[in-house]
Amino acid sequence: MSVTCTEVLKLIPLYVDGELDALRIDEVERHVSDCPECLGQLEMLQRLSQAVRAQYDYQPLPDSVLARIEAATVRPLRAHPVRWFVPFAAGLAIGAAAIWMVVPGLVRKDRFAQQLVSSHVRSLMLNNLVDVPSSDRHTVKPWFQGKLSFSPTVPDLAKQGFPLLGGRLEYLEERPAAALVYRRNRHIINVFVTDNPVFGLSEVDSAGFHVRHFRFQGLEYWAVSEVSEPDLKEFEEAFVASGA
Amino acid sequence: MALSLKAVQDAKFKRVVMPYVEYGFNLALSLLQNRSDAEDAIQEASVKAYQSVWQLRGEDSRAWFLRIVRNECMNILRTRSQARGKELSFDDEIEVVDQRTPNPVEVAEGNWTRAAMNEAIGKLSIGLREVLVLREIEGLSYQQIAEVTGTPIGTVMSRLSRARTALLNQLSGGETCP
C-alpha cells in the first residue's frame, strides 16, 4: 500500500537523519520517485544538512586546553615547585628505581591486579560479558573443554545469592584463562581462573573495585568486582565450600 | 594489601572520554558562544567525568560525557542569567527566530557562505541550537540527543524540525509570514 504525502513529509526528516528502518526507507524512496513535491522537500533537507556540516565553524581543541585537562586528570598530582624539592625528588626517584629493580615481583603483582580490573571493566563495557550465557554449571563447565588445558570448577551458587550468568575465555599473562561470571544483586563478579601459580594476591583494594585471590583444587582463582568487600569474601567462602 | 589503581582509571578515561573531549569543546562553544567560558566548561566537565568514570557501565560514553559537558554549560548560562537578573529560559518561543518562508531559489542552490551559516546557527535559541549541533555536528541519534539533553525523543524531533526551518528562513531571507 502506498503512503500519502502527509505521511512521507513526516518521515523525511527521519529519513535524512538515518532514523528509519529498511521498510520505511523503501516506502519513502518509492514515494519520492513519483512525487516531485516530496522529493523537493527531501533534497532541501539533505542540502541543508550537508551545508551545516560543511560550513560549521568546528574548532580543534587547543593544545593548551588539552594540557590543562590532562594535568587535572590523568597526570599525577605534583607538589609545589620549591627548591628543596628537586634533590628530594631525585632521591625519591633513585629509591623508586631501586625498589623497581630489587622487588620486581611486587611491580608485576600490581600490574597483574590492574590487568584483572581492566579485564573486568572491559567485560562490562563492551557487551562482552559471556561467551557462553547460561546459569547451568553443566553447560558452562564443559564449554571450556578443548579451549583450556585445565578444567575450572563452576559451582552453582544461586542459593547463596550469587547466580551464575555464564563464562568466557580470557587471556592473562600471555596464557589462556577462564572467566566465570556471577551476579550479586545488580553487580557483576568476574572470577578469573588460571593454572598459573605465579601471582598470589590475597586481596586488593582499588578505586571502587576489589580483587580476592584463592587457590582451589590446584588452580588459581581471582574474584573481581565492585561489590562490597564482605560480599566478595562471602562469595569466596561460598565458592570454596561448594566444591569441598 | 591495598594498591592504587589510578593507572586503570587513567586508562579508562583515556579510552572512553578523551576521544570525545574535542566534540565536547565544540558543544560548549556552540552553547556558550564564548571561547573562554567554553574552555572552562570543558575542563570542569573533564574533571567531573574523570572522577566518575568508574560509574560508566557499558552505556554510550560519548552521550554520557556530552551530557556532563552540557550540564556544565547550563550552570554557566544560569550564572550569566542570574548576573543579569534574568531566569535562564529554554522556551524556544521567547527567543527571536525569524518566521519567514524559505526562498526556494536560494535553498535550491544551497551555497550559503560559512559566515552566514555560522551567524544563522548562532542566532538560534539555545534549545534549538543544541539539538541541531548534537545532530549535525556531533552526529548523535535522536535517542542519544534525548539522553544528553534530558528531553523526550518527541521534543528532540520537534526542536530539530524547528531549528532547521528557522535556519532555512535566516539563510534564505524569504518573505515574512503573515
**Spans of all domains in chain B:** 13-83, 104-172
Q: What is the mean pLDDT of chain A?
A: 81
Q: What residue ranges do the domains of chain A occupy?
A: 5-55, 105-243
Interface of B with A in 20-79 (CB under 8 A): 21-22, 25-26, 29, 39, 42-43, 46-47, 50, 54, 56-58
- Class for the domain spanning A105-243: alpha beta
Instruction: Indicate the range of A71-85, A139-153, A160-174 predicted with least confidence.
Output: A71-85
Exposed / middle / buried, residue A197 (Cβ in 10 Å: 0-12, 13-18, 19+): exposed
Beta strand A203-205 with A132-133: parallel, antiparallel or unpaired? unpaired
Output the pLDDT for position B136. Answer: 92
Among chain B residues, the shortest Cα distance to A9 is held by B161
Query: Taking 90 as the threshold, does the pLDDT of residue A84 lie above it?
Result: no
The CA distance from B74 to the nearest CA of chain A, in Å, is 20
Exposed / middle / buried, residue A194 (Cβ in 10 Å: 0-12, 13-18, 19+): buried
Contact predicate A88/B61, CB 8 Å: no
User: Which residue matches cell numbers 601471582?
Assistant: A199
Cβ–Cβ gap A52/B137 under 8 Å: yes
Amino acid B174 reads G
Query: Taking 90 as the threshold, does the pLDDT of residue B97 lie above it?
Result: no
Query: Taking 90 as the threshold, does the pLDDT of residue B160 lie above it?
Result: yes
Please check whether residue B121 touches A, CB under 8 A: yes
Amino acid B118 reads N
The whole-number average pLDDT for the span B133-150 is: 93
Output the pLDDT for position A90. Answer: 59
Burial profile A222-244: b = 16 or more Cβ within 10 angstroms, e = fewer? bbbbbbeeebbebbbebbbebee
Tell me, yes or no, if the two domains A5-55 and A105-243 fold the same way. Answer: no
pLDDT in tens, A90-124: 566 665 555 555 444 445 566 777 788 888 887 87
A-B contacts at Cβ under 8 angstroms: 132
- Class for the domain spanning A5-55: mainly alpha
B64: which residues sit within 8 A by CB, 6+ positions away?
Answer: B49, B56, B147
Cβ–Cβ gap A125/B58 under 8 Å: yes
Within chain A, what is the greatest distance between any pair of CA atoms? 83
Please state which of the four CATH numbers 3.20.20.370, 1.10.1740.10, 3.40.190.10, 1.10.3720.10 is assigned to the domain occupying B13-83.
1.10.1740.10
Q: What is the mean pLDDT of chain B?
A: 83
Distance from C-alpha of A229 to C-alpha of A36, rounded to nearest angstrom: 67
Element (DSSP H or E) covering residue A194 = strand A187-194
More reliable by pLDDT, B41 or A77: B41
Beta strand A210-216 with A187-194: parallel, antiparallel or unpaired? unpaired
Q: Which one of A11-25, A72-86, A160-174, B92-106 scores highest in mean pLDDT?
A: A11-25
Distance from C-alpha of B95 to C-alpha of B127, rounded to nearest angstrom: 9
Query: Taking 60 as the threshold, does the pLDDT of residue B106 lie above it?
Result: no
User: What is each CA distance from A223 to A25, A192, B58, B74, in whole angstroms?
Assistant: 48, 6, 20, 42
Name the CATH topology of B104-172: Arc Repressor Mutant, subunit A (1.10.10)
Please check whether residue A46 touches B, CB under 8 A: no
Contact predicate B31/B108, CB 8 Å: no
Please check whether residue B4 touches A, CB under 8 A: yes
Dihedral sign, CA of B77, B82, B85, B89? positive
Among chain A residues, the shortest Cα distance to B27 is held by A58
Output the pLDDT for position A155. Answer: 93
Query: Taking 90 as the threshold, does the pLDDT of residue A54 lie above it?
Result: no
Query: Taking 90 as the threshold, does the pLDDT of residue A187 lie above it?
Result: no
Instruction: Indicate the range of A20-34, B79-93, B111-125 predicted with least confidence.
Output: B79-93
Read off the pLDDT band of A231 (50, 70, 90). confident
pLDDT in tens, B57-75: 777 889 999 999 999 999 9
Query: Taking 90 as the threshold, does the pLDDT of residue B49 lie above it?
Result: yes
Output the pLDDT for position B154. Answer: 95
Among chain B residues, the shortest Cα distance to A187 is held by B57
Query: Taking 70 as the threshold, does the pLDDT of residue A81 lie above it?
Result: no
The whole-number average pLDDT for the span B125-146 is: 93
Cβ–Cβ gap B58/A56 under 8 Å: no
Distance from C-alpha of A50 to C-alpha of B169, rounded to nearest angstrom: 17
